A and B are shown apart, each in its own frame.
Chain A
Amino acid sequence: MATVVPLAEAVAELVHDGDSVAMEGFTHLIPYAAGHEIIRQGRRDLTLIRMTPDLVYDQLIGMGCARRLVFSWGGNPGVGSLHRFRDAVQNQWPAPLETEEHSHAGIANAYVAGASGLPFAVLRGYRGTDLPSRTANIKPITCPFTGEELTAVPAITPDVAIVHAQRADRHGNVQLWGITGVQKEAVLAARRSLVTVEEVVEELEPRPGAIVLPGWAITRVSEAPGGSHPSYSAGYSVRDNAFYQAWDEISRDRETFLAWMREHVLAGGALPPASAARATGGGARP
């Protein structure tokens, strides 16, 4: 049964140097607060797994937390490059970064296999591309029934999965809705899991289209209001597109990046100010 604990305590307990860590949330519900806590605690040599590294992994990579990145699309959505990711790959700054590169369909299926207790996933994918020549974890496989040649990827089973959700109850049952991405699969594929939530409520009200992750399938829950900023939590906040655009300038230069991280992440754990974002209490907020 998931216990509800402060975020710093959950990260210290669940995330260790050298771990493989999957922090998911497909554009929506990205666990920034947890990522920043990992940076503050100075974790090193992590294998970071995430379909779309987004700014949160740009920050972790730029702060030297990562040894290896498993990903499928490493850009700043609608804006351009992830400069810290690029600097690590092109110039080994602040440290060399090994990469394992997939397509979205490949990683999504690898999580499904992990959640399903299977050693690998099979898909129609990658055929004819140069990706298999660069990733040992993409192999052809022949269908035993039809003889058709398909593609296999090994299951992803992270040491720890971290996701953000709208809310949890006091028993650690978690409810999330809107774009739900691969969060359920990542949590169920992982050995340990942490869910940060906008708020802990007395009772979860049923909500159309919502996923419920039972508390007994989660290791720890932490309250982190605003913890998905600059991404968003449907019903609580909107995506801070202005911040995503601003990040292009902040992250382009190493010193500017480090200064920003010192001021907004390392100093005291305050979240970066929402430039345009947080919904103002009304609307869908329960």
Chain B
Amino acid sequence: MTVPSAPAYTSDEMMTVAAARRLRGGSCFVGIGLPSVAANLARRTHAPDLVLIYESGTVGAKPSRPPLSIGDGELAETADAVVSVPEIFNYWLQPGRIDVGFLGAAQIDRFANINTTVIGPYDAPKVRLPGAGGAPEIAASCREVTVIVRQSPRAFVDRVDFVTSVGFGSGPGDRERLGLRGSGPRTVITDLGVLEPDPVTCELVLTHLHPGVTLEAVRAATGWELAAAPGLLETEPPTAQELAALRSLTGGRP
């Protein structure tokens, strides 16, 4: 059945909108790619005061469209302040000043550890990925972390091939033991739904299904036995306003 007034959207658009909604305000250390689009959407819709921080040293950037790189000129031109790279990591990130770290992932595991380094063995990788960049310290030091990643059995694995950035390590107590001062990943947003760490076990469990997605489909796209939180919710579909703002940011590309 089709509801005539409901706007059509793609699963990627649903993912980006759901991620943007999680950013309420404060400051956000933005990774490039999917996080950058969602953070810019949040700033264009419900969170106009959201402070976007890119690792190029641009603090309070207000780009008119998501940049291709973390160092596009418009980020510096529109920023409240442009600082050096040592300064962005040492003075701004490391002391825990930044509210949300917003990251992507090539692989993520049941304890929300992130791999962006290699698929397969390190010395003979099947795929050599770009590596760590700013992510290990973003994951360690931001007050909390949001992850946005498309869900598939290749990406959602029981144990990542390489821990580039720590989520909850091997489980409860690991972050404290390692001296990681931020609270770690609070939300993982995918094209199928939303996962959050169980407050006791730290294991990612499904809390929201996007409209039209079944629990079975999410489980089939997950490399461990995914549990659903009690009272599994359905994500509100994107509003016409959210979709219009998103498409104006991405130049209409779904």
Contacts and interface: CB of A to CB of B under 8 A. Distances in A.
Interface string A192-234: 0000000000000000010000000000000000000000101
Nearest to A29: B71
B53 to A, nearest CB: 13
A28 to B, nearest CB: 5
B46 interface: no
A73 B131 contact: yes
A129 B85 contact: no
A215 to B, nearest CB: 21
Contacts of A103: 132-137
Contacts of A127: 140, 166, 178-180
B56 A129 contact: no
A85 interface: yes
Contacts of A128: 140, 163, 166, 169, 174-175, 178, 180
28 contacts: A26-B85, A27-B69, A27-B71, A28-B76, A73-B130, A73-B131, A73-B133, A73-B134, A77-B32, A77-B69, A77-B70, A78-B69, A79-B68, A86-B128, A90-B128, A105-B134, A108-B86, A109-B86, A111-B86, A112-B90, A124-B181, A128-B163, A128-B166, A128-B169, A179-B56, A181-B71, A185-B84, A238-B73
Interface string A22-42: 000011100000000000000
A272 interface: no
B197 interface: no
Interface string B128-151: 111111111100110000000000
A226 B117 CA distance: 33
Contact of B137 (A26, A125, A241): A125
Listed from nearest, the 3 A-B pairs whose CB atoms lie closest are: A27-B71, A75-B130, A77-B69
Contacts of A149: 179
Nearest to A75: B130
A99 B178 CA distance: 26
Given A28-B73, A234-B73, A105 B89 contact: yes
A52 B136 CA distance: 15
B93 interface: yes
B82 interface: yes
Contact of A104 (B72, B89, B129, B175): B89
A234 B162 contact: no
Given A72-B133, A81-B130, A109 B76 contact: no
Nearest to B133: A73
A contact residues, range:
35 or more
B85 A108 contact: yes
Interface of B: 32-33, 55-58, 67-73, 75-77, 82, 84-86, 89-90, 93-94, 117, 122, 125, 127-137, 140-141, 162-166, 169, 174-175, 178-181
Contact of B56 (A90, A181, A241, A244): A181
B68 A239 contact: yes
Contacts of A148: 179
A164 interface: no
A104 B82 contact: no
Nearest to A30: B71
Nearest to B166: A128
A126 interface: yes
Contacts of A178: 73, 76, 82
Contacts of B69: 27, 77-78, 239, 241, 244
Contact of B94 (A123, A134, A181): A123
A182 interface: yes
A112 to B, nearest CB: 5
Contact of B132 (A101, A112, A245): A101
Contacts of B165: 129
A127 B136 CA distance: 8
A173 B133 CA distance: 31
A238 B178 CA distance: 42
Nearest to A79: B68
Interface in A52-104: 52, 71-75, 77-79, 81-82, 85-86, 89-90, 101-104
